[in-house]
Each structure stands twice: as structure tokens, then as C-alpha cells.
Amino acid sequence: MFREVMQNAGLEAYAEIGVLIFFGSFFMILMLAFFGMSNKEREAALHMPLQEDEAI
């Protein structure tokens, strides 16, 4: 019964909009990672997981 109510509610557009926002954000983050970073920023991000934490 609950499935029928949800199917007839007409909420498909919200799911489609959510998926489009997700993929759009993912694509923009990829473009920033590949083309928006300078070599210095990329090198710093590359070594970040290996750096030891200073006094927290």
C-alpha cells in the first residue's frame, strides 16, 4: 500500500533533480582537481596524508 501511495505521489522529479545535482557536483570537483590546481597545490595535496600532525 505504501509503495502505491509513493508511486502516485508524483515525486519522481525530485529524485531526478537530486541525481543531476550529485553528478554535476561530482563533475565540477573532478574538473577542479584536474585543471584548477596549480602544481604547487597538487604537490602539497599529494604529500598531505604522509605529513605528521603537529601539536593539536
Instruction: Count Cβ atoms below 10 Å from residue 37 Cβ, excluding itself.
Output: 13
- Coil vs helix vs strand at 38: coil
pLDDT for the residue 7: 77
- Coil vs helix vs strand at 10: coil
45 Cβ neighbours under 8 A, 6+ residues apart: 37
Domain ranges, ordered by start, for the chain: 2-50
pLDDT for the residue 16: 92
What parts of the chain have a pLDDT lower than 50? none
pLDDT for the residue 29: 93
